[in-house]
Structure 1
Amino acid sequence: MRTTVQFYITYFLAILLSVLCMIFVIYWNATWRGGFAWNGSTLQFNWHPVLMVIGLIVLYGNAVILYRIPVTWQGSKLPWKLLHAGLTFLAFIFAVIGLVAVFDNHNANRLSNVYSLHSWVGICTVSLFAGQWLLGLATFLFPWTPLELRQLAKPLHVWLGTSVFVMSLISSISGINEKLFFVLSGNSTEKYGDQPAEAIFGNALES
């Protein structure tokens, strides 16, 4: 009983932190980066960190931890499987729109695509995410999949899902830091190294 209570306290704290993370990234782009638009400008780029954080951190994080919740251990697994699949699919949709936002912005301004370590890790993360989702759908939701195959695939599915989430964290942290370096170059703004308010806020978001 005590362990269950401790889990739920930790779980709700994690949810609170994920919601704060989402609010922080929206506030950062709305306050310091000028807000949002969908016209190929830097305002369209601002959708990229927001959508990726909501999709790959908030939604996917909740999908990953779903089967750790004690209430899912009893009764039919099908509703929880559907919820898990739905959350991961919604996370993927957010991630795809987030990628469209940054590619549109780069193409409209004749900037190179996928040239930094952040972008390489990000593309690998989304690609593995898509493969993981298809693997999970085919293995655990299709009724004709043999039980032996499900048992064999389960450890791989869990390991790959955790790995993709870790890669999502790495992508998000590196992306936010890269953006701060770009916009706080000291040309028309304060330097990142001088620790202006935006840099401090961004570092807090990364933490």
Structure 2
Amino acid sequence: MMKFIHAGLNILAFIFVVISLVAVFDFHNAQNIPNMYSLHSWVGLAAVILYSLQLVLGVCIYLIPITPIYLRAAFMPLHVYSGLFIFASVIATALMGITEKLIFGLKYPKYKDSPPEANFVNVLGVLIVVFGAIILWIATRPSWKRPSEQVLRSLPTYRDGSAGTKMGTALSQQTDLIDPEGNGDARRRSGKLEDSGQVN
């Protein structure tokens, strides 16, 4: 269920990205503003392209049942890293965008004179950085990851029931070797939820 929610939210975000890009290019063309000349636009477009590729590969590999288990396991580290990299790129793009808007938008007083508008947007930029740091911290903490037992239960099995079990066991062993303490914390947290009836 969680992977479908994850995919659904990303697809919804992609729709908003497309709408935003169309609006930006239409506005630039209407105002005779050159397109794709700033670092903000370069990094932003690169993030959109990588996000689109990440979304397509994620849907094809993790939502299509016929995808081999070994391919899913092999692609997972790259999928996780790409997601974090794209997220950091989006944060950087947002910071460059609001800075660019302040420099071009504020005339009297200018941005360098620190008017209230500039200070307000600067605070918003700092909050964006804090938000990004919190998300990256959570996403990289082993204690926030699903226990390997849950991963094992979510893996499909073939008719003889061996493929999914073998791959799940391998994933479990890898997780234990990488961070046995963090994985143990995740198991204990999951066990408490199951005992309380919060996990089906």
TM-score (norm 2): 0.62
Query: Pick from 195, 199, 207: which aligns with 2:114?
Result: 195
Q: How does 1:43-122 map to 2 (within 5 A)?
A: 79-122=1-44
Q: Which runs of 5+ in 2 are unaligned?
A: 127-200
Structure 1 equivalent of residue 85 of structure 2 = 163
Q: Which runs of 5+ in 1 are unaligned?
A: 1-78
The 1-side partners of 2:105 and 2:99 are apart by: 10
Aligned length: 126
Aligned residue identity for 2:51: F
Q: 1:131 aligns with which of 53, 70, 74?
A: 53
Deviations 1:2-50 (A, max 9, x none): xxxxxxxxxxxxxxxxxxxxxxxxxxxxxxxxxxxxxxxxxxxxxxxxx
Distance across 2 between alignment mates of 1:160 and 1:99: 21
Q: What residue is the counterpart of 1:18 in the other structure?
A: none
How big is the shift at 1:111? 1.4
CA shift for structure 1 position 89? 0.8
TM-score by length of 1: 0.60
Q: RMSD of the alignment, in Å?
A: 0.7
Q: CA deviation at 1:148?
A: 0.3
Distance 1:195 1:110 in 2: 29
- 1:206 and 1:137 map into 2 onto residues whose CA distance is 32
Give the match for residue 177 of structure 1: 99
Q: Distance in 2 between matches of 1:119 and 1:133?
A: 21
Instruction: Could you list the structure 1 runs, at least 4 aligned residues long, displaced by more than 2 angstroms after superposition.
Output: none
- Work out the CA distance in 2 between the residues paired with 1:197 and 1:135: 44
Residue 193 of structure 1 deviates from its aligned partner by 0.9
Q: Deviations over 1:44-79 (max 9, x none)?
A: xxxxxxxxxxxxxxxxxxxxxxxxxxxxxxxxxxx1
